Structure 1
Amino acid sequence: MADYFGCLANKLPFIYLGVKVGANMGRINSWIEVVQKVSNKLSKWESKTVSMRGLWLNIIKSIHGSNRSFDQPIMSHFHVSVWSMVLKAVDNLKAKGVDLMEFCKKIIGNGFNSIWHDKWLGDVCFKVKLNKLFNIELHKEVSVAHKLQDVDIVSFFRRCPRGGIKDFQLQDLPQLLSSVVLSSFCDRWSWTLKIRMVFFL
């Protein structure tokens, strides 16, 4: 192909715009040069206003997806990532009747995880337990922490509940949240399945 267009053939990896292309980006060593070049390019003023964490957060999200959930769809470019293999293994087990998510729950720390989608208080997620409120919620991805900060719980509902099951669920929501105490630690996953070993003598 290169000969046909009169171009020089090259081998991977090669340098393009000062960055190595074609290296195995699953290895930490492959990123060292990229990090060094970005750091060198930032001026003193820029380095004070630009968050390196936010720089890397966007890169990781573009590779692995943004919601960090086991139930997110596997995108086509995931085939080279370790996370894609984890998701595929989870999907394969689910197809065989074993849903690992039934045995996982979130332990709330700083409350950055979703109040509706994650199973973090009890055995059922809020979008199922309080389904009528979830249907009228405008910000369905709102975190636990943000919901706790709301002075008026109904402020982000599409309309104020008027009678019926919505009223009962609206009474339940403050009671459920009143027991929640946030901490400085990050939310984390907890494995709830306990395996009992039986020995026969």
Structure 2
Amino acid sequence: MVNLALLGKWRWRLISGEEGLWLDIVRAKYGPLGCSSHLGGRVRGFRGVSSWWKEISLLGVCLESLSDWFSTGVRKVVGNGLSTSFWFDPWLGEVPLKVQFPRLFQVSINQESQVGSFGKWDGGVWVWEFRWRRRLFVWEQELLHGLLVLLDSVSMSLSADSWSWKFEPSGMYSVKSAYLSLLGEVQ
């Protein structure tokens, strides 16, 4: 459990925008962080990578008896929406919108786009704009209405997007809170 919590700290450092020489070296060696469902990644081969990188890449993926503990602990906090995937990141609720609204995801032209590209500022008010592959059926328009109701709670701003760890009041990841969540002692 402690090892997973420590791996989580490395994962947190990679997704939270920390900077440093170590990060430049890791990205030069391995490329962008892959595989995680909450980062929009897709499983890629791990040939030629270290076991450390493989384990970090697989955090957030449900394996064997382990739950998806890392993904359930992180949440994207949207500011300007420029670094948050609209469909893949868990920024509106605990699961990505592609899971909450699979049909809308299928007909969206902007499947790989960021939140900030799904709307524009109009007189100081954020207006959502969607583009579809075709006209929506009536039942799909009802799904869109449900999505728009969820989006009403979003307050877009000019600040940068960030990650938040839900098991810590400060929102910052800690090995202790991760360890306690893995033991099931934190909700």
Alignment pair present for 1:97 and 2:66: yes
Alignment pair present for 1:129 and 2:100: yes
Change (3 A) 1:125 1:85: closer
Q: 160, 163, 175: which one pairs with 2:149?
A: 175
Letter in 1 for 2:75: K
CA RMSD between the two structures: 3.6
Task: Give, in angstroms, the shift of residue 118 of structure 1.
Answer: 1.4
Task: Give, in angstroms, the shift of residue 177 of structure 1.
Answer: 2.2
Select the structure of larger CA radius of gyration.
1
The answer to which structure, 1 or 2, has the higher relative contact order (CA under 8 A, 6+ apart) is: 2
Question: What SS class does the counterpart of residue 75 from structure 2 fall into?
Answer: strand
**8 Å Cα contact 2:36-2:60 kept in structure 1:** no
CA–CA separation in structure 2 for the residues paired with 1:147 and 1:125: 15
1:28-61 deviation line (CA, Å, top 9, x unaligned) = 59xxxxxxxxxxxxxxxxxxxxxxxxxx7xx937
State the match for 2:110 in structure 1: 139
CA–CA separation in structure 1 for the residues paired with 2:93 and 2:54: 29
State the match for 1:5 in structure 2: none
Unpaired segments ≥5 residues, structure 1: 1-26, 30-55
**8 Å Cα contact 1:107-1:190 kept in structure 2:** no
**8 Å Cα contact 2:30-2:49 kept in structure 1:** no
Aligned residues: 140
Task: Give, in angstroms, the shift of residue 152 of structure 1.
Answer: 6.8
State the match for 2:136 in structure 1: 161
1:106-125 counterparts in 2 under 5 A?
106-111=76-81, 112-125=83-96
Letter in 2 for 1:145: G
Unpaired segments ≥5 residues, structure 2: 1-19, 122-126, 168-177
1:142-180 deviation line (CA, Å, top 9, x unaligned) = 1111113396734x210121212x111111233322322
- Structure 2 length-normalised TM: 0.57
- Structure 1 length-normalised TM: 0.54
Task: Give, in angstroms, the shift of residue 84 of structure 1.
Answer: 3.0
CA–CA separation in structure 2 for the residues paired with 1:123 and 1:90: 13
